[in-house]
Amino acid sequence: MMDYSHDFDFFRLIVPCNLDRQSEAVREAIKSGLQQDWGTSWEGGSDDCIYLGSLNDHRHERYQTTQAIDYLLENREGSITLFVADTSFTITVNDAFSDILPVEVGGVKLTWERANFRDILLEETDEKYKVEGVINTVRRFYEHVQPPFAFSQLPYEWEYEVKVTQQHLDTPELPDIYWLVFLSPELCEDIGRSRVRSAPVWKVEDLADGGLGLVATNNLRYSREHKQRLRAYLGISP
Q: 6: closest CA among 119, 114, 133?
A: 114
The pTM of the full predicted model, rounded to 2 decimals, is 0.91
pLDDT band at 57 (very low <50, low <70, confident <90, very high): low
65-113 per-position pLDDT tens digit:
999 999 999 999 889 999 999 999 999 999 988 766 677 889 999 999 9
User: Do 47 and 38 touch, CB atoms closer than 8 A?
Assistant: no
Show Cβ contacts of residue 197 under 8 Å, excluding neighbours closer than 6 positions.
Answer: 204, 212
Question: What are the extents of the domains in the chain?
Answer: 10-234
Give the H or E element holding residue 153. strand 149-153
Write the pLDDT tens digit of every residue in 135-156.
999 999 999 999 999 999 998 9
